[in-house]
Amino acid sequence: MSEKKELGLAVVGCGVVGRMRATLAKDFPGIGWIGLSDINERVGRQLADDLQADYFTTNFHELIERPEVDAVIIATSTWDHVEPTLAAAERGAKLLIEKPLATDARESKMVLDAIEKAGVDAVVGYTQRFRRRFLVVKDRIVSGQIGDLTAAVTRAFMNRMAPTGEVRLTQDRRFLTPMVVSGTHSLDMCLWLMGDAAKPVSVFARSTDKVMNELGTKDATFGVFTMEDGTIWSMNICWALPKEWPGAVYGLEIGIVGTKGVIDIEDTHRDVILATEMPQGPAYNPDGLEIDVRRHVDFLTSFPPGDTYGGELWGPLREETNSWFQRIYNNKDTPHATAAEGHRNLVLTMAMDLSAKRGQELELPIDPDTLMDGLME
């Protein structure tokens, strides 16, 4: 039996998520070389030192062009995925891209086209697909346990830490909305679970901005999608809950009704609660973000990537990342979101924003140019 070549991995972006994924790569036996890049040299070199990485640069082009590179993780800021993704696709590298592909639907389509033209295997980071509860629900729906779908509802509640963290590094906040940044996770989850029934033909949405308008974004967006087969789906998110709200990030509820049954998912993390006299810091604490709130109650296990034990991360981001290593090293079939699904998710979240802006139902599918022209009116 011949030995397989160890892969070279480039990680572009050494913040919270980049650090998590790069640390997991260090322990995967099929990864033989790790290179890092970050425009924040202090953050990047700290990770390079911690991992004893093989290479570090502040220029992602220099990293991606290294001959050792076979695969690339794009973990830069939400609005900064396009250029490194295009460079990696042109290089022919396998890709794991943090969502979204872009924050502009036209750029997202350009990225998707480049990925498909290059013929590279590219997936998008929708970590919650790798949680046991959602995998078992997907299996039950696929096997016909609830029959043909007729209706679905998705509700996501988040405190204000996510939008506060997202807007801190840019003044261009036009498209850093609840749906584009965070609602995309619950949108992807419900579309993935619904499978073939998830072919939207229209959406009607509304938004509010009484709290988060001072940060240049919205409080909440609520919408109703109609599917090609008549299935209806209510998709709602609010990320303006008080910072003291004890859910670290997501509190999610999903209900899916079929002709033969129903699946009801309560994922608000209120089953394991910590109450303490000791102040609790935020689960998400990127470099440069000052947190002015300390909580004394926490919904444990509510941080989407997972939790630490013994200095290691355990949970869905570990499962997702290690599964991706198996995908690129052993050609394993995995439940990752494809680049095409990532583009679809962005378009649908932005379509909700456009419907809310116009106050009218929007027909789907919608061309990216038409979508962006409408949002920028």
CATH code, 219: 3.30.360.10
Residue 326 is part of a domain; what is its CATH number? 3.40.50.720
Number of domains within the chain? 2
Domain assignment present for 369 = no
Is residue 360 in a domain? no
Give residue 295's pLDDT. 85
What's this model's pTM, rounded to 2 decimal places? 0.95
CB 221 within 8 A of CB 179: yes
For residue 1, what pLDDT is reported? 42
**Nearest-angstrom CA–CA distance, 375 and 171:** 17
Domain assignment present for residue 31? The answer is yes
| Residue 215, burial from CB neighbour count under 10 angstroms (0-12, 13-18, 19+) | middle
Cβ burial of 155 (10 Å; 0-12, 13-18, 19+) is: middle
Instruction: Please say whether the beta carbons of 75 and 85 come within 8 A.
Output: no
In a domain, 370, yes or no: no
User: Does 181 share its domain with 159?
Assistant: yes
Domain co-membership, 276 together with 141: yes
Same domain (yes/no): 55, 183: no
344 with 59: CB under 8 angstroms?
no
What is residue 38's predicted lDDT score, i.e. its pLDDT?
98
Q: What is the pLDDT of residue 168?
A: 73
171 within a domain of the structure (yes/no): yes
Kindly state whether residues 150 and 280 are assigned to the same domain. Answer: yes
Same-domain status, 286 and 324: no
Q: Report yes or no: 131 and 265 within 8 Å, Cβ to Cβ.
A: no
Would you say 221 and 178 are in contact if contact means Cβ atoms under 8 Å apart? Answer: yes
CA distance 216 to 280: 28
Cβ(20)–Cβ(321) under 8 Å?
Answer: yes
The single-letter DSSP state of residue 224 is E
Residues 143 and 254 in one domain: yes
Whether residues 142 and 28 fall in one domain: no
Residue 237 included in any domain: yes
Residues 137 and 109 in one domain: no
Judged by phi (left if over 0) then psi (alpha if -120 to 50, else beta), residue 253 lies in beta
**pLDDT on residue 37:** 98
Residue 207 lies in a domain: yes
**How would you write the pLDDT of the chain (377 residues) with one tens digit per residue?**
457 889 999 999 999 999 999 999 999 999 999 999 999 999 999 999 999 999 999 999 999 999 999 999 999 999 999 999 999 999 999 999 999 999 999 999 999 999 999 999 999 999 999 999 999 999 999 999 999 999 999 999 998 887 887 777 676 788 889 999 999 999 999 999 999 889 999 999 999 999 999 999 999 999 999 999 999 999 999 999 998 899 877 899 999 999 999 999 999 999 999 999 998 876 666 666 666 778 899 999 999 999 999 999 999 999 999 999 999 999 999 999 999 999 999 999 999 999 999 999 999 999 999 999 999 99
Q: Are residues 59 and 208 in the same domain?
A: no
CA distance 120 to 95: 8
Q: Are residues 185 and 276 in the same domain?
A: yes
Q: What are 237's strand-pairing partners?
A: 156, 221
For residue 219, give the DSSP letter.
Answer: S
- 119/176 same-domain check: no
Which range marks the domain in which residue 234 is found?
132-304
Examine residue 312 and state whether it is found in any structural domain, yes or no.
Answer: no
Residues 167 and 241 in one domain: yes
